[in-house]
Structure 1
Amino acid sequence: MKIPDSWINLKTFPDDLILTKELVYDYCNLECTQPQPEAESTEYSAYRFEINKKTICYREAKITPTKTGQFVTLWKRNISGTIEPFDFSDTIDFVIISVRKENSFGQFIFPKAILLEKGIFSTATKEGKRATRVYPPWDVTTSKQAQKTQKWQLDYFLEITKDETIDLKAKELRDKLSRLLFQI
């Protein structure tokens, strides 16, 4: 059952975020707050919002011309104006990264815990990364490091398709979203 649309000014949001809201979040009865644009990382469609009271940091990854996978930035500006990686103290429960290539589309839904574990977010003892590369299932990785990264990332990937009826995918989507969004 689809819940009523609750976002105002849909035309101001990225198409992939709107599509996901319609095909997944609404269909699975997830409560989503109005996305707020972030001043930094606008070229990656940076937004913050909540899904079922969990704070979401949203980005859209970009295909780069020479490397497999898609690139996305994950940083903040500190008090002195310098960019630095997100860290354990930031109020982010999940990072959702939308990826697309031709007719393939999906989202990585990474919990903060895995981003800390993999060194993408900073911990008290180790600096994280300001950007990362994600490898959707349709990307063929050749380097050992990319294959290793893709292997763990795919545990957090949700493929979103329009060519199958949503009813056939609903149970799978609900199960996977429940596992990803409610494991904290």
Structure 2
Amino acid sequence: MNDFWTAFAYINEQLYMPCRLTPHDIREETQNGAYGAGRFCSGETSIRFRVAKATPTKLGQFVVIWDKDEQNKNQPFSEDTATDLVVVNTFNDSNRFGQFVFPKGVLKQHKILKTGTIKGKVAMRIYPSWAGINRRVDKQ
């Protein structure tokens, strides 16, 4: 479920609406489209939305978290322009889903956001409780 609109609609129906959260200013971020990328607000809170992907050779799931700079090159999210939260959604084949919610302060603390003195990161790996090694790896 890596299409932003499909993933967002599912999460909205399953989680946000029952919790009476009202997302607004919803928009897709096509530069990270393979990771169901988008952004929206809930109340005064700005949120970046991503969908993590299983990878064939490593535990956990992978997600990209970058913007394009003026030269159209990938760069880590900047502390100055980062949203309040980065929400990474994870799905498995059994209709299970979860969310990892990272506040801006935590991303800064773990050197994921770019600052004047920190390079930042353009991707990370998450580990939902059900995410093991991809079956193709087990066969190797």
Report the TM range for the smaller structure's normalisation.
0.7 to 0.9
May I ask how many residue pairs the two structures share in their alignment? 130
Alignment partner for residue 105 of structure 2, among 87, 107, 113?
A: 113
Return the alpha-carbon distance in structure 2 between the equivalents of residues 36 and 98 of structure 1: 16
Give 1:31's aligned amino acid: T
Match of 1:123 in 2: 115
C-alpha contact (below 8 Å) 2:21/2:42 kept by paired residues: yes
C-alpha contact (below 8 Å) 2:50/2:87 kept by paired residues: yes
Match of 2:59 in 1: 68
Q: Return the offset for 1:51.
A: 1.3
Match of 1:165 in 2: none
Structure 2 residue 80 is the aligned partner of structure 1 residue 101: no
Return the alpha-carbon distance in structure 2 between the equivalents of residues 41 and 61 of structure 1: 11
Match of 1:181 in 2: none
C-alpha contact (below 8 Å) 2:84/2:104 kept by paired residues: yes
C-alpha contact (below 8 Å) 2:35/2:64 kept by paired residues: yes
**Identity between Structure 1 and Structure 2 (%):** 34
Alignment partner for residue 19 of structure 1, among 6, 10, 20?
A: 10
Structure 2 residue 128 is the aligned partner of structure 1 residue 136: yes
Runs of 4+ in 1 over 4 A off after TM superposition: none
Return the alpha-carbon distance in structure 1 between the equivalents of residues 113 and 58 of structure 2: 23
From the superposition, tell whether residues 140 and 64 of structure 1 become closer, same or farther in structure 2 (CA, over 3 Å): closer
Return the alpha-carbon distance in structure 2 between the equivalents of residues 128 and 62 of structure 1: 21
The two structures have a TM-score, normalised by structure 2, of 0.85
Question: Higher helix share goes to which structure?
Answer: 1
Give 1:47's aligned amino acid: G
Give 1:128's aligned amino acid: G
Match of 1:47 in 2: 38
Match of 2:137 in 1: none
Q: Which has the higher contact order (CA 8 A, sep 6+)?
A: 2
Q: Return the offset for 1:21.
A: 0.7
Q: Return the offset for 1:12.
A: 7.5
SS in structure 1 at match of 2:22: coil
Return the alpha-carbon distance in structure 2 between the equivalents of residues 138 and 12 of structure 1: 22
Greater Cα radius of gyration, structure 1 or 2? 1
Give 1:13's aligned amino acid: W
SS in structure 2 at match of 1:127: coil
Give 1:81's aligned amino acid: N
Question: Higher strand share goes to which structure?
Answer: 2
Return the alpha-carbon distance in structure 1 between the equivalents of residues 36 and 4 of structure 2: 11
Match of 1:155 in 2: none
Match of 1:87 in 2: 78
Return the alpha-carbon distance in structure 2 between the equivalents of residues 17 and 32 of structure 1: 10
